[in-house]
Amino acid sequence: MQAMRALLALEDGRIFRGLGFGAKTECAGEVVFNTSLSGYQEIFTDPSYAGQIVVLTNPHIGNYGTTPSDAESARPMIEGLVTREFSAMSSNWRSTEVADEYLERNGIPVIAEVDTRAVVRHLRANGVMRGVIASGPDLDEAALVAKARAIRKMDGTDLASVVSTKVVYEWSDAEPKNQTGDKFLPQTEGGDPLHVVAYDFGIKENILRMLARENCRVTVVPAKTPAADVLSMNPDGVFFSNGPGDPEPLDYAISNVQALQGKAPLFGICLGHQIFGLALGGKTYKLKFGHHGGNHPILNHQTGKVEITAQNHNYNVDPASLPADVKQTHTNLNDQTLAGLKHATDPMFSVQYHPEASPGPHDSHYLFRDFRKMMEEWKK
């Protein structure tokens, strides 16, 4: 692993210097930080990070390598990576490729030996901003800052249709295995198979595993699939996935929720939750520096319990904008933002976090069971 001089240039003129790893190429995107202590490969491959450079606050990255089992999509989806220490080797029996080679092979540049605490403090104080990572012997700092300022802003950008599948496909891995052949997600006992149609706005693979765990046959459809086409598949329920970017430009998704409301049980996660909020008459807004990490406490108003959750989003639904027939079910205890909603009469609910990511580790798995129960009730 050979490193060279590298820079992270932000649009406000702040420069962070370090060493370049991964792909020897330049990247640009919105710079955000993630506070998770592990799971860096899941972060690399989460499609919700499309268009973003990710700063990891955990100082040691790459030390347990990478493995296909931990990928949430076919390839890394981040634009670039910023770390304190980037390991030249992997020490884990599951590892099949060191992180440096993995990111280099997939064209993702890395800047390491950076004071990530300073980067995070800067973003917390000033908000997320556009940035560029570049490496090489002669770097023009002013030119890189100018490039950062020229990047298209995330606001108003539809990235969901970019990362979405282009074809309809079936996903029915009801008994996912780890590398020893042991089931790591035991299937729920009992119940007839149910058919879920899942809109892919950047869906994570473990969401599909969790739906399959509830004895569901999943048909994944592209982001712009008309509601009429979904209903023609005779689903027992419809799922709206996570994904990147601003929810407001997704008129096609908002209208599909409105067309499906009351005609099938609906469940949304993250971007799906934001789409629900807009479809129900609410408004969304951009958070100052987003929620990205595996340690966000969420209060479940229905049970009074606090769940430790994984989150990855820059936009949120304004609870004050929602009509009276939409109930707030969950609240983020870090900043009191809306983290879950449910319609008073129609079978639909959503959450602004990732119940499949298991940081609790099982605090939020009940949401998939609740979706199954909702579908069973609907069929009666």
Report CA Rg, the chain. Answer: 21
Q: How far from 161 is each of 36, 158, 290, 308, CA to CA, in Å?
A: 27, 7, 21, 30
The CA–CA distances, whole Å, from 311 to 129, 198, 300 equal 19, 20, 15
Q: Which two tokens stand for residue 98?
A: 């060191």
* CA 275 – CA 99 distance, rounded (Å): 34
Amino acid at 65: G
Catalytic residue among 42, 270, 291, 292: 270
Instruction: Given the residues 104, 205, 307, 356, select the one marked as catalytic.
Output: 356
Q: Is 270 a catalytic residue?
A: yes
Paired tokens of 41 = 């490969």
| Tokens, residue 6 | 């590298």
Instruction: Record the tokens describing residue 314, joined without a space.
Output: 């820059």
Return the H-helix or E-strand segment holding 253.
helix 251-260
Beta strands 60-61 and 348-351, pairing class: unpaired
Query: Could you give the CA distance from residue 258 to residue 196 in angstroms, rounded to a whole number?
Result: 18
Q: Give the count of alpha carbons within 13 A of 28, CB side only.
A: 14
Amino acid at 179: Q
Q: How far apart are CA 240 and CA 269, in angstroms?
A: 7
- Cα–Cα dist 291/334, whole Å: 10
The strand ranges marked E within the chain are: 4-10, 15-22, 27-34, 52-56, 60-61, 80-82, 85-86, 109-112, 129-135, 169-171, 194-200, 216-222, 237-240, 266-269, 284-300, 306-317, 326-332, 338-343, 348-351
Element (H, E) at 272: helix 271-279
Contact 198, 220 (CB under 8 A): yes
User: Cβ distance 21 to 45 under 8 Å?
Assistant: no
- Active-site residue, from 273, 291, 292, 354: 354
Strands 80-82 and 52-56, by their bridges, are parallel
Residue 69: count of CB within 10 angstroms of its CB: 13
Task: Supply the residues annotated as catalytic.
Answer: 270, 354, 356
